[in-house]
Amino acid sequence: MRRSVILLALLCGAVVVSLAAKSQSYVESVSDPKEWKKLLRTRTNILVLYTRGKVKQEINLVFTEVSRELRGTATLVHIDCSGEGKKLCKKNKVEPVSYVLKHYKDGDFHKDYDRRETIQSMSTFLRDPSGDIPWDEDEQGVDVVHINDVNALTKLLKKERSFMMMFYAPWCGFCKRLKPDYSMAATELKDTHTLVAMDVNKPENSAARIKYNITGFPTLMYFEDGAPKYTYEGENNKAGIVAFMKNPGKAPEKPKEEVWSDTPSDVIHLTDATFHEFVKGEASVLVMFYAPWCGHCKRMKPEYTSAATLLKERGIMGKLAAVDTTKETKLGTEFSIKGYPTIKYFRNGEFAFDVSSAREKDKILEFMADPKEPPPPPPPEKPWSEVESSVVHLTDENYKSFLKKKKHVLVMFYAPWCGHCKKAKPEFMNAADRFSDDPKVEFAAVDCTTFQTLCSTNDVSGYPTFKYFNYYKNTKPYNGGRTEIDFVKFMEDPENPLSGSPPPPPSPQEEWASVQGGELIHHLTEATFDTFISNKETLVMFYAPWCGHCKAMKDDFGQAAVELAAEGKMGVLATVDATVERSLATRFQIHGFPTLKFFRHGHLVTEYNRSRKSADIVGFMRNPPLNGKDEL
């Protein structure tokens, strides 16, 4: 009896402990500005619930549960703006009517929380605060049935007689491009057909990925009676998906490409049986080893074919030959063909050397007129970690221990192949040398192709990424310039809140200063736009500073301004930086760069659709259209 009582007491105690653990909240209440500042300095992923008065039960329950679920991954904080936290709310410029959620990352405000206020949505956001909104939370995808796990898929297979399934991965670029069309198709078909989506990148969904042999993304399958019937191979757009769902079936066979060797040309197509005899009989032969499916080969074929004809017409000695190594496997093995196309030159029946550069018609003709062996490739670049410098190279083994001992460390996360990294390396090393005698300051580097886990832990999504560490725990991103002077200035005072901030972007006037005629171009803002165009004819170029086509057009736009000024024309040229003046970009429906629009006395007349050369711009302004039509 006594033993039974003891056992019962132990069981009751275990239940009480279990219930206590479930009700435990890890939400931190903060009201003191100093305490808040310390929290920002020591925590990198903070979600704050600002409230005025009593917290609503629904959000309180969600917030509490997320604090338990993500303990150690994220910090959840409550600040009462009507009580002791009033001063802190004012300092943070937050004035909630009832409550508001704001996220802080790496010591700075990141963004307002804009997802669903559920445990799953909030947890997903805090695991990847910079990631895209999950598809199942995107309003555009409301008519797509989202399957979160294998159990839900099993239920769907029993419930629905037929449906289309899109197996996808959130990081997949092709999936991202297809999502809007797939969502629109789901909306159009929602009364008659079911379109489903499943993220099989999740570890818990790997069973579905294996079962249905999903080896690429996106994969679209049509299911009927609980089993896949067709793999969708139609157009990846709304129209193609809608048409298929209205009449499911195998996609029509794509027309077969004509076999290159069956197409009449001056290229000689060789086989295992004919190759050696042909080559022995020729003094100069260039051979292209290819595969019919290879994209680079397809692009090279017309160039190679045209070069063979011109070789013959111009009387240049030599022949161009081709070998399909997917058929002529012996030749592929004999010449160790590992990639396509591989181009080899044969002289007097013997292999002479590889020719990697002759892929365009002119280059092929130039080579055959004077066949010379190309210079040997440069020796492989020495790994940065083997280059003598003051930069410390961190690995999985020394990363944490090194940073914990150092007061000021600037770490460069890089990839050896990255062009921007190569450009920054000597500047970074020079800056490191400047502090070589200062034991408190270090410059370090992590090769993300070798130590992927370290880079993933630090949210490295591009190269190079720079991050400042203070005794490992305190970190902040470095977004400043990448010259030796920039790095040195930052490390001289890294704790200054403004240190490492990106330099302010140049003004339009500075940006166009180097363009001839740039001083004649007027740079408009939302405040000056309407007044400026109200009494004149103006051709306005809406552009983005990063846009390559815009940069390429600048010189012509400047030259056109010079010519118009010399002729004394009334019309003027102007620009709008659409990345800054977003209200103007929205007002005039700017969807691509550069976009040029012509205004007369404050009214939009037409969009400029001629070439971007100065002569055409000047010609347009000499005789601009009277109405919305541009007569060439």
151-205 pLDDT tens trace = 899 999 999 999 999 999 887 878 888 999 999 999 999 999 999 999 988 878 8
pLDDT tier for residue 22 given thresholds of 50, 70 and 90: very low
The domain over range 508-622 is classified in CATH as 3.40.30.10: yes
Q: Check 297, 448, 455, 550 and give the catalytic one.
A: 297
| Residue percentage of the chain with pLDDT more than 70 | 93
What are the DSSP calls for 570-600, one per residue? Answer: S-EEEEEETTT-HHHHHHTT--SSSEEEEEE
Which region, left, alpha or beta, applies to residue 214 given φ > 0 means left and ψ of -120 to 50 means alpha? beta
Does residue 16 register a pLDDT over 50? no
Helix axes 419-434, 484-492, angle to 10 degrees: 50
Distances from the Cα of 257 to the Cαs of 302, 304, 341, 536, in angstroms?
Answer: 14, 18, 18, 57
pLDDT tier at 17, thresholds 50, 70, 90: very low
Distance CA 119, CA 358 (A): 59
Tell me the average pLDDT across 420-434. 94
Q: In angstroms, rounded to a whole number, what is the distance separating the alpha carbons of residues 325 and 272?
A: 9
Q: Give the pLDDT of residue 252.
A: 56
> Which fold does the domain 28-131 belong to in CATH?
Glutaredoxin (3.40.30)
pLDDT value of position 610 = 87
Q: Mean pLDDT across the stretch 622-628?
A: 76
Exposure of 545 by Cβ count < 10 A (0-12 exposed, 13-18 middle, 19+ buried)?
middle
**Distance, C-alpha 83 to centroid of its chain:** 44
| pLDDT at res. 21 | 44
- The secondary structure of residue 168, as a DSSP letter, is E
* DSSP H or E run through 209: helix 206-211
pLDDT of residue 594: 92
pLDDT digits (tens, 9 = 90+) for 93-120: 998 888 999 999 988 898 999 888 888 8
**Does the 261-369 domain belong in CATH 3.40.30.10?**
yes
Report whether 577 contacts 528 (CB < 8 A): no
Catalytic residue among 421, 448, 455, 550: 421
Please give the full DSSP string across 124-161, using - where no structure is assigned: HHHHSTTSPPPGGG-GGGTTSEEE-SHHHHHHHHHH-S
Residue 305 is predicted with a pLDDT of 95
Look up 550 and say whether it is catalytic: no
Q: How many Cβ atoms from other residues are within 10 Å of residue 584's Cβ?
A: 19
pLDDT of residue 15: 42
Give 388-419 pLDDT, tens digit per residue.
999 999 999 999 999 999 999 999 999 998 88
Instruction: Give how far the C-alpha of residue 176 lies from the chain's centroid of Cα atoms, to the nearest Å.
Output: 11
271-285, 293-307, 491-505: range with highest mean pLDDT: 271-285
Q: For residue 23, what pLDDT band results from cuts at 50, 70 and 90?
A: low
The residue-averaged pLDDT of 53-75 equals 86
Q: 175 an active-site residue?
A: no
- Residue 434, classified by CB atoms within 10 Å of its CB into exposed (0-12), middle (13-18) or buried (19+), is middle
CATH of 136-246, one of 3.40.50.300, 3.50.50.60, 3.40.30.10, 1.10.3720.10: 3.40.30.10
Domain assignments of the chain as residue spans, ordered by start: 28-131, 136-246, 261-369, 384-492, 508-622
Can 172 be counted among the known catalytic residues? no
pLDDT band for position 3 (50/70/90)?
low
For the chain, what is the mean pLDDT?
87
Contact residues for 474 (Cβ-Cβ < 8 A; gap 6+): 41, 42
Domains 28-131 and 136-246 share a fold: yes
Q: How far is CA 542 from CA 297, 545, 587, 597, in A?
A: 39, 10, 12, 8
Name every residue whose Cβ is closer than 8 Å to that of residue 497 and which is 6 or more positions away in sequence: none
Per-residue pLDDT averaged across 564-589, rounded? Answer: 87
- 384-492 architecture in CATH? 3-Layer(aba) Sandwich (3.40)
Query: In whole angstroms, what is the distance from residue 367 CA to residue 359 CA?
Result: 10
Residue 294 annotated in active site: yes
Q: What percent of the chain has pLDDT over 90?
A: 53
Residue 609: the pLDDT is 86
pLDDT of residue 569: 66
